[in-house]
Amino acid sequence: MGESYTGAGVDIDSASRAGRMIAGHVRSTLRPEVLGGFGFFNGLFEISGYRQPVLVSSVDGVGTKLKIASIMDRHDTVGIDIVNHCVNDILTGGAEPLFFLDYIATGKLIPERIEAIVTGIAEACREVGCALVGGETAEMPGMYTGADYDLAGFIVGVVEKDAIINGSTIAEGDVIVGLPSSGLHTNGYSLVRKIFGETREVLQKRYPEFGRFLGEELLIPHRCYLKQLKPVISLIKGMAHITGGGLIDNVPRILPEGVAASFDRSSWQVPGIFHLIQKKGDVAEGEMYRVFNMGIGMTVFCSSEDTDKLTRSIPDARVIGKVIKRKSEEKVIIR
Q: Give yes or no: residues 145 and 55 share one domain.
A: yes
Give the model's pLDDT for residue 23. 83
Q: Give yes or no: residues 181 and 330 share one domain.
A: yes
| Structural domains in the chain (count) | 2
Q: What's the rounded Cα separation, in Å, for the pair 109 and 138?
A: 8
Q: Give yes or no: residues 264 and 140 share one domain.
A: no
Give the model's pLDDT for residue 3. 66
Q: Give yes or no: residues 41 and 148 share one domain.
A: yes
Domain region containing 273: 175-334
Per-residue pLDDT of the chain (335 residues; tens, 9 = 90+): 566 566 667 777 777 787 787 888 888 898 988 987 766 678 889 998 999 999 999 999 999 999 999 999 999 999 999 999 999 999 999 999 999 999 999 999 999 999 999 999 999 999 999 999 999 999 999 899 999 999 999 999 999 999 999 999 999 999 999 999 999 999 999 999 999 998 999 999 999 988 899 999 999 999 999 999 999 999 999 999 999 999 999 999 999 999 999 999 999 999 999 999 999 999 999 999 999 999 999 999 999 999 999 999 999 999 999 999 999 989 999 99
Give the model's pLDDT for residue 209. 87
What is the domain-level CATH number for residue 131? 3.30.1330.10
Q: Give yes or no: residues 191 and 321 share one domain.
A: yes
CB-neighbour burial class of residue 88 (10 A; exposed 0-12, middle 13-18, buried 19+): buried
Inter-residue contact 317 to 311 (CB < 8 Å): yes
Q: Give yes or no: residues 182 and 323 share one domain.
A: yes
Q: Report the SS3 class of residue 141.
A: strand
Give the model's pLDDT for residue 175. 98
Q: Is residue 103 part of a domain?
A: yes
- Region class of 49: left (phi > 0), else alpha (psi between -120 and 50), else beta: left
Residue-by-residue DSSP string for 239-263? EEE--TTHHHHHGGGGPPTTEEEEE
Reference 251, options 266, 235, 262; nearest CA is: 262
Task: Determine how many CB atoms are found less than 10 A away from the CB of residue 38.
Answer: 19
Give the model's pLDDT for residue 14. 79
Q: Give yes or no: residues 155 and 179 share one domain.
A: no
Give the model's pLDDT for residue 333. 96
Cα four-point dihedral sign 209, 215, 219, 220: negative
Q: Give yes or no: residues 205 and 303 share one domain.
A: yes
Q: Report the SS3 class of residue 184.
A: coil
Give the model's pLDDT for residue 10. 73
Pairing of strands 259-263, 332-334: parallel
Give the model's pLDDT for residue 125. 98
Reference 120, options 47, 49, 25, 11; nearest CA is: 25
Inter-residue contact 275 to 195 (CB < 8 Å): no
Q: What's the rounded Cα separation, in Å, for the pair 133 and 61?
A: 18
CA dihedral 182, 187, 190, 191 (to 10 degrees): -70
Please report which helix (H) or strand (E) contains residue 152, including its range. Answer: strand 149-160
Q: Give yes or no: residues 313 and 183 share one domain.
A: yes
- Chain centroid offset of residue 114 CA: 19
Give the model's pLDDT for residue 26. 81
